[in-house]
Amino acid sequence: MFMDIFDVDHFINVLKDDISIVKELPDDFYWSTREYYATAIRANRVKTAPVHASANWYIENVSPILKSYGIAAIAPFSHRLAFDNMPKDIQHLRCKVNFQALVFVPHIRALGDALISRLKYLPTERESSTNYLNVVTDSRSKQGNGKFVVLHLRFDKDMAAHSACDFGGGKAEKLALAKYRQVIWQGRVLNSQFTDEELRSQGRCPLTPEEIGLLLAALGFDNSTRLYLASHKVYGGEARISTLRSLFPLMEDKKSLASSEERAHIKGKASLLAALDYYVGMHSDIFISASPGNMHNAMVGHRTYLNLKTIRPNMALLGQLFLNKSLTWPEFQEAVVEGHKNRQGQLRLRKPKKSIYTYPVPDCMCSA
């Protein structure tokens, strides 16, 4: 639920001068429940909202319902407002909601701050787990350079299976992914019509932990880099990330940085685990995602809004480089550096139909 993840009081307070928000429906609308709409067709329920509707569509189709019944239920309600040709005041309100009003609940922020402090200032060599977990912001002297990188390693089984790519795990992995695709996705893996080489050269394959490690190394990160791994589950487990860990021995994650007692409030709760990773990611010096996705898009937009550095992997280039087995390391490194010169935090203007939340320039950041 919204209130399990976001600070509702902060949300209401930030937007109080723009819009009236209530935590519960007034008594007059006691009848407007989930069960009420589930049992029959209701005149005040709107199910025809286009995916990207204009403001005029809502004025013409929803406003009359509000006037007649005092309440309108719009479902499903996700990304239902167009991004283009919108009044400036609506665009500015959207920016304010997304980048100012939405903050995580206090216990996520508190745990996130603890993890960030430990990432920034933990000793290079941990004397004991107890001392390590008790590192706080005030103990900064000689315990770290205060900088860290967050890597969103989007490489779970769903992602691997849906991509239709081969990840070098041999016959057993191929069979396991093929079965998973058939059972879970039931023939909806559209990329399966292409060969693995075609998928990689088109940049359609998520980067494996080994590949993202090579990318980071080529960009100049080394074994002194403090790396935070933002991921829920990595397909293949620890064996799959062993190469990445050998390249970046100071790599941490939620489990290594927080005690079991600290993690008890979020254990098994995917949304809160993702919120914690997002919070840590927003406080990193550099953020990089192994492949595009919802968290990547949200983080890119949010960090752009705050003028923070985000590296966007050139998936097509990397796919072609990894297919070329004759490349030497200097040649690979030169190609990677050259191919990422303009993918390290430069501002990009939003194009028509693109999300204002991923590309907040110019709508959220410029005034004519």
The three-state DSSP-derived secondary structure of 97-145 is HHHHHCCECHHHHHHHHHHHHHHHHCCCCCCCHHHHHCCCCCCCCCCCC
Residue 352 has pLDDT above 90, yes or no: yes
> What are the phi and psi torsion angles at 69 (to 5°)?
-110, -10
H helix or E strand, kind and range, residue 238: helix 237-247
Arithmetic mean of pLDDT over the chain: 87
pLDDT score for 189 = 64
Residue 146 has pLDDT above 60, yes or no: yes
Please tell me the total number of residues recorded for the chain in this structure.
368
pLDDT score for 124 = 52
More confident residue, 194 or 117: 117
Residue 128 has pLDDT above 50, yes or no: no
More confident residue, 188 or 195: 195
- Specify the pTM: 0.88
Neighbours of 329 (CB within 10 A): 10
Q: Which residues contact 352 (CB under 8 A, 6 or more apart)?
A: 84
- Rounded to an integer, what distance in angstroms lies between the CA atom of residue 327 and that of residue 331? 6
Q: Are 160 and 206 in contact (CB under 8 A)?
A: yes
Mean pLDDT of 95-117: 97
The residue type of 60 is E
**pLDDT digit string (tens) for 203-228?**
888 888 999 999 999 999 999 999 99
**pLDDT digit string (tens) for 16-58?**
999 999 999 999 999 999 999 999 999 999 988 888 899 999 9
Own/partner pairs for 98-103, CB < 8 Å, 24+ apart?
Answer: 98/301, 98/302, 98/356, 98/357, 99/302, 99/305, 99/306, 99/360, 99/364, 100/14, 101/10, 101/11, 101/14, 101/15, 102/6, 102/11, 103/6, 103/7, 103/10, 103/11
Residue 136 has pLDDT above 50, yes or no: no
pLDDT score for 141 = 38
**pLDDT digit string (tens) for 304-341?**
999 999 999 999 999 999 999 999 999 999 999 999 99
pLDDT score for 129 = 43
- Rounded to an integer, what distance in angstroms lies between the CA atom of residue 9 and that of residue 56? 31
Q: For residue 44, give the DSSP letter.
A: T
Mean pLDDT of 110-126: 83
pLDDT score for 80 = 81
**pLDDT digit string (tens) for 245-298?**
999 999 999 999 999 999 999 988 989 999 999 999 999 999 999 888 888 999
pLDDT score for 309 = 92
